[in-house]
Every structure is written in structure tokens, then in C-alpha cells.
Structure 1
Amino acid sequence: MKKNTNVDKEILNKQNQHWENTFTKKSDMFGTEPSIPAQKATKIFKKEGKKELLELGGGQGRDTIFFAQNGFQVTVLDYCETGVETIKQKAQKMGLSESITAICHDVRKPLPFDDESFDCCYSHMLYCMALTTSELEFLSDEIRRVLKLGGLNVYTVRNTNDPDYGTGIHRGEDIYEVGEFVIHFFDKEKVDHLAKGFEIINIDEFEEGGLPRRLFRVTLKKE
């Protein structure tokens, strides 16, 4: 797989503060209803009898709350303190504090969990944040480490058919800064590349939002 290593890491690192500022200004930036991918993932996880769920990049918790309401024990990570505090407040308000553990963590660092701690992992558009391919390789290995044998990883990512792909400012690899947000776009080759140690169950393409955004929903099983 080809790699352009000329990535502007300084720009990527500034995304943390940008998201902090955005979440502070907009308490429910993505709305309060659960995303369609979270609803579909819930059906998949329930069918497979999964209970212990790790959510990465929980944002302000719209999917986190939905998972907890559906009987999952949810551990959610986000690298924005504002998002984590919002999730904790929502969980307390809705009587879900015992079902949700929210932690501030940068997924470029090792996940703070023992091996084989979770039945399943979910993330909605985390993979297409300001992460380089090498950082995504590391993250994929970490997810595999903390999943139990047969554990599922469901993630969504904007793909190279998306209208925003190739627009804005190129920041290296398939990474573009569009309207101050840095986005890493995926093709199927990258999905295959990051699936090392997993069986690919499905790669579904779907649309979301007003553009519309075009995404892959990837379902992996730990081998």
C-alpha cells in the first residue's frame, strides 16, 4: 500500500483544541438521537451476545447513551475533556452512571486496559480523524489486543467517494483539512490493510448527513 509520509503533524495535533472549542460552543453538535451506525451495531452485538462494549471517540455521548439504554456495559473514550464531562453529566441525569465509564484518552497512546477486556468495540468516524496511517495501524493492534477472541470491531469512516475527498488543504496521505476539520479518507485497500489479525465480516457503504457524507461501515471479528 502506498504511503505519503509527508504529513503535517503540527496541524494534526491542533485538532484536539479545535474539537474542545467546538464541543464547548455546541453542547449537542451531532444531535441527541443515536446514529444509524450505532443502531445497526447494537443489533449485531446483541445477536452475537456481546455485553462489554468499548466505544472510541464518543464525542458528546449520543451513541454512548443509546448503548447503555440497550443493556451494554459501556466504557467510552474521547480525547476532549469537554466531551467526557458531557457524557458523565448525561449519564448521571439519565440514571445510567453505573452502565457508563467515560475516560479522557488519546487513542494514539496504548489503550488503558488489560488484554481481552471487551466483547466488542465501536467507533463512529474516529478512524477518519487526524490520525496518520501508522497511528491507525497502532490503534488497530490495540483494539485487537483488548478484544476477547471472537470479539467484534465495528467502525465507520468517510471514504474516497465522499464529496469532500480531495478538497480543502492536503495534509499528507489521504488526509485533508476541510473547513478547519482534518479528515482521513479511506479506500477499501486501507480497510484491508488495517484488518490484520481480524476477519472482515462486512464492508458496507452508506450515506449520512446533508452533503451527503459517504462512509464505509466495517465489521471485523478478532481471529
Structure 2
Amino acid sequence: MQRVNTGHVELARAQQERWDSAYAQRPQLHGSEPSAAARRAVELFGAAGIDDVLELGSGHGRDALFLAGQGFSVHATDFSEPALDQLRQTAQRDGLDDRVTAALHDVRDPLPPADATVDAVFANLLLNMAFSPSELHSLVAEVRRVLRPGGRFVYAVRTADDPSSQYCQQLADGLSAHDGFVGRFFDEDLVGELAGAWQLDELRPYDEGRRRMLLVAMTRPPAGT
């Protein structure tokens, strides 16, 4: 097993550079169709009467633009400026720039919103990225901090039985590497650990193309619980 410095500036910087390069070399890297998780988020957020969504790890914006097209106001964040430039250009082209804002942010840092000011947070595949366990717990705690009581967090992750895992090099701290990208596959135990201070509303496995995924929907409990 190869050792890697997890949770350190070097790994974060290397991954940011790898993603910047990928987005620059292949514009619209993930295609234009929204993820299955974004489609489910629209249903859940709509049923809860939510209008505004904070998306973390938006990439070039396929889900942010879909959410905006469904009537939500979306504040999209990512740590890749090339990806965000593509998001802004597409939003302007499609007439959605009044519903989508995009800001550069690395979720290893505290989230920008003040406490209890956000109605909903969405993240597709973000939590699979190269985070140490402590960084993952800190991120989820930050999401809980910025959500209002009763606010919703919907995220989707690739699972440990994803077929691509067999081609990955195993690193320390539960991380894997392939083609210069480093990340973490999830199982239900890890979801349960991260959901400790939440109301877990939905935990659903599904397939998306060749990916094996878990959709997780959680609610921040009322204050004092």
C-alpha cells in the first residue's frame, strides 16, 4: 500500500491542478445531462418548498444549470476556475445567469454562508474526492452549520463495489488513485458515521451508467435536538 499525505496542502493542490487540467482539456467534461442525484434533489427540495440551493463541487455546472432551469436559485461553488468559467458561459448562453451564481471555493475551508442561513445543500460526487476522514467530518459539520433547522442536504457518492475500484491503486487512509485522480469510495457505514447529528431521510443505492452509487438525503434537526 502506497502512503500519501492526506489532509495536507500538497495533496489538495495537486488535485486542484489535475482537475483544472482536465476541465481545460475537455470542456463540458461530464456532459450536459443532469445527474440522477440532481433529478432526485429537485423532487425533494420542491416537496419541501425550497427555493435556494447551495451546490458544492459544481464542476462545469450540469446540475447547477438543471436546478436553475427547474426554478431554483443556485449558488454554485467549485475549486476549479476553468470549470466555473464554463458554468458562467453556459448560464449566460442559456439565459440562466439571473438564477445561477458561481464562486471559487475549496470546501476544505469553512463554507462562506453564516450560520443557519441556507435552505438546501446539494453535492454530487464531491464527497468522493481526496478528503481525509477528518476533512470529511468537518465538511459535513460545515454543511450542518450553514443549514437552517429543517434544511436539507442531498448528496451522492460512488460506492465501494463500483466496478472502477478494481483498477485503482490503494493508498493510505482509505484513499484510492487512478490516472492522477485521488478519491474515496463509500459504504453505508461511512454514510452512517457522517449522519450522526442528522435526520437520515433516504439512503438509496442505484446505478448510473457503469457507476454504482448511493443517494443520501438528510435533514438538519430542529434547534436543540
The amino acid of 1:93's aligned partner reads R
Q: Using the TM superposition, give the Cα deviation of residue 164 of structure 1 relative to its aligned residue in structure 2, in angstroms.
A: 2.6
Q: Using the TM superposition, give the Cα deviation of residue 167 of structure 1 relative to its aligned residue in structure 2, in angstroms.
A: 3.8
CA distance in 1, matches of 2:151, 2:172: 32
State how 1:4-19 maps to structure 2 within 5 Å. 7-9=4-6, 10-19=10-19
1:110 is matched with 110
Structure (1 or 2) with the greater helix fraction: 2
CA distance in 2, matches of 1:110, 1:166: 34
2:182 is matched with 182
Whether the 8 Å contact between 2:23 and 2:29 is mirrored in structure 1 is: yes
Q: Using the TM superposition, give the Cα deviation of residue 181 of structure 1 relative to its aligned residue in structure 2, in angstroms.
A: 1.7
2:198 is matched with 198
Match of 2:128, SS? coil
CA distance in 2, matches of 1:89, 1:168: 34
For normalisation by structure 1, the TM-score amounts to 0.92
Whether the 8 Å contact between 1:167 and 1:178 is mirrored in structure 2 is: yes
State how 1:128-143 maps to structure 2 within 5 Å. 128-143=128-143
1:162 is matched with 162
Q: Using the TM superposition, give the Cα deviation of residue 12 of structure 1 relative to its aligned residue in structure 2, in angstroms.
A: 4.9
Whether the 8 Å contact between 2:28 and 2:86 is mirrored in structure 1 is: no
Matched, 1:97 2:94: no
Alignment identity in percent? Answer: 35
2:57 is matched with 57
Q: Using the TM superposition, give the Cα deviation of residue 172 of structure 1 relative to its aligned residue in structure 2, in angstroms.
A: 1.6
1:216 is matched with 214
Which runs of 5 or more residues in structure 2 are unaligned? none
CA distance in 2, matches of 1:22, 1:205: 28
For normalisation by structure 2, the TM-score amounts to 0.92
Whether the 8 Å contact between 1:174 and 1:186 is mirrored in structure 2 is: no
State how 1:13-92 maps to structure 2 within 5 Å. 13-92=13-92
CA distance in 2, matches of 1:120, 1:148: 8
Say how many residue pairs are matched: 217
Post-superposition Cα deviations, 1:81-137, rounded to whole Å, max 9, x if no partner, equal 111111111111112112111000000000011112211111110000111111011
Whether the 8 Å contact between 1:12 and 1:182 is mirrored in structure 2 is: no
CA distance in 2, matches of 1:112, 1:15: 22
Q: Using the TM superposition, give the Cα deviation of residue 146 of structure 1 relative to its aligned residue in structure 2, in angstroms.
A: 0.8
The amino acid of 1:215's aligned partner reads M
Match of 1:142, SS? helix
Q: Using the TM superposition, give the Cα deviation of residue 166 of structure 1 relative to its aligned residue in structure 2, in angstroms.
A: 5.2
Which runs of 5 or more residues in structure 1 are unaligned? 1-5
The amino acid of 1:220's aligned partner reads M
Whether the 8 Å contact between 2:201 and 2:217 is mirrored in structure 1 is: yes
Structure 1 runs (4+) deviating above 3 angstroms are 9-13
Match of 2:219, SS? strand
CA distance in 2, matches of 1:20, 1:199: 35
Q: Using the TM superposition, give the Cα deviation of residue 174 of structure 1 relative to its aligned residue in structure 2, in angstroms.
A: 2.2
Q: Using the TM superposition, give the Cα deviation of residue 29 of structure 1 relative to its aligned residue in structure 2, in angstroms.
A: 1.0
